[in-house]
Amino acid sequence: MKPVLLSFHGNGVLGLDQLEETFEVVKLYKEKDPEATIQKYKDDVVAINCTVSHKISRKLIEALPKLQIIATFSVGYDHIDVQAAKDNNVVVTNTPDVLCAETADTGMALLLAVSKRLAEGDMYIRVGKWLAADMPLGVSLEGKTVGIVGLGGIGSKVAKRCAAFDMNVVYYGPREKKDYPYKYYDDITEIAKDSDFLILTCPGGEATANLIDANVLDALGEKGFLINIARGSVVDEPALIEALQAKRIAGAGLDVFAKEPHVPEEYFSMDNVVLLPHIGSATVETRTKMGQLVIDNILAQLAGKLLLTEVKI
């Protein structure tokens, strides 16, 4: 029997064809009873292919004695117990770099959507409101301060784009990055206070859980907008809903949520919020590159070659 690849998803546009020759590809997402399928193949699973919505726990990792690699179709890996993987000599790979520009573009799309009220404008026409009255005004980006939370691969691309929009770029993170010309803050409340737009681009996980809480939202203030293209876990979601309802912040553009694909219904009736179904990297070109990286990492591991994008902890 060929080694088994336990595939939690279809690897996007590219699919899994390139892996069929080497692996018995078990398409878990097509199985009626995924748990029973895992039990059936558990002793032969060598590789896992997953993405952000699949929790890869210590329990699962330790139930697969031959597991060598977990390849996630995402830059984020907070859904994987990487410490458990390390403890069990399992390597983890992700898809950095290839999706940074795309995800930054999604951040810009949300920034423009909230400042220019684009989603509301579209609805305004569709439901015939324009016939009765003009739209409320938006707010300008030029000259405004944008606070970027996490100046990594995606954050630095957002910074570059915002600078091209003649915005004043500042950033928050665990450490100052002297290579960049932007002002650094080591205090999340202070950066929120000074920002007109706060854009979250940091990794998820324990270190950033609920980083944006009621105090930070209050510091952002009634003219401030929050954009989240990071992880739902970075924001205290009930606090955000409350702040939006009470108009203690001006609005939000959200691509990520705490319990995806479930989105709190409170958002649905808010005209100061733009919602996206976690599509940060979702274009044909970028998803193709991500899928190829997943394949190349898995094949490299099996061939004993150097991994392309290993997660190091």
Burial class (CB in 10 A: 0-12, 13-18, 19+), 207: exposed
Query: Catalytic residue among 9, 117, 161, 278, which?
Result: 278
Q: Which residues of this protein are in contact with ligand DGY, per CB under 6 A?
A: 52, 74-76, 99, 103, 280-281
> The dihedral of CA 85, 94, 274, 128: what is its sign?
negative
Calculate the CA 108 to chain-centre distance: 14
Are 224 and 198 in contact, with CB atoms under 8 Å apart? Answer: yes
Query: Catalytic residue among 9, 79, 117, 231, which?
Result: 231
Are 78 and 203 in contact, with CB atoms under 8 Å apart? Answer: yes
Burial class (CB in 10 A: 0-12, 13-18, 19+), 159: buried
Q: Which is nearer to ligand DGY, 26 or 309 (CB)?
A: 309
Are 199 and 111 in contact, with CB atoms under 8 Å apart? Answer: yes
Q: Nearest distance from residue 282's CB to ligand DGY, in Å?
A: 8
175 catalytic? Reply is no
Q: Which is nearer to ligand DGY, 52 or 244 (CB)?
A: 52
Q: Which is nearer to ligand DGY, 195 or 201 (CB)?
A: 201
Closest to 290 (Cα-Cα) out of 157, 96, 146 = 96
58 catalytic? Reply is no
Q: Nearest distance from residue 302's CB to ligand DGY, in Å?
A: 23
Query: Catalytic residue among 190, 260, 266, 310, which?
Result: 260
**38, 118, 171 from 3: Cα distances, Å:** 14, 50, 46
Which residue, chain included where needed, has tokens 């206070």?
193
Q: Which is nearer to ligand DGY, 156 or 281 (CB)?
A: 281
Q: Nearest distance from residue 101's CB to ligand DGY, in Å?
A: 12
Instruction: Give the count of beta carbons closer than 10 Å to the beta carbon of residue 21.
Output: 9
260 catalytic? Reply is yes
Q: Nearest distance from residue 164's CB to ligand DGY, in Å?
A: 21
Closest to 207 (Cα-Cα) out of 254, 152, 248, 273 = 152
Helix, strand, coil percentages in the chain from 3-state DSSP, rounded to 5: 40, 20, 40
Q: Nearest distance from residue 252's CB to ligand DGY, in Å?
A: 17
Q: Which is nearer to ligand DGY, 103 or 195 (CB)?
A: 103
Q: Which is nearer to ligand DGY, 126 or 262 (CB)?
A: 262
Q: Nearest distance from residue 115's CB to ligand DGY, in Å?
A: 21
DSSP assigned state of 20: H
Report, as residue numbers or ranges, the catalytic residues.
231, 260, 278
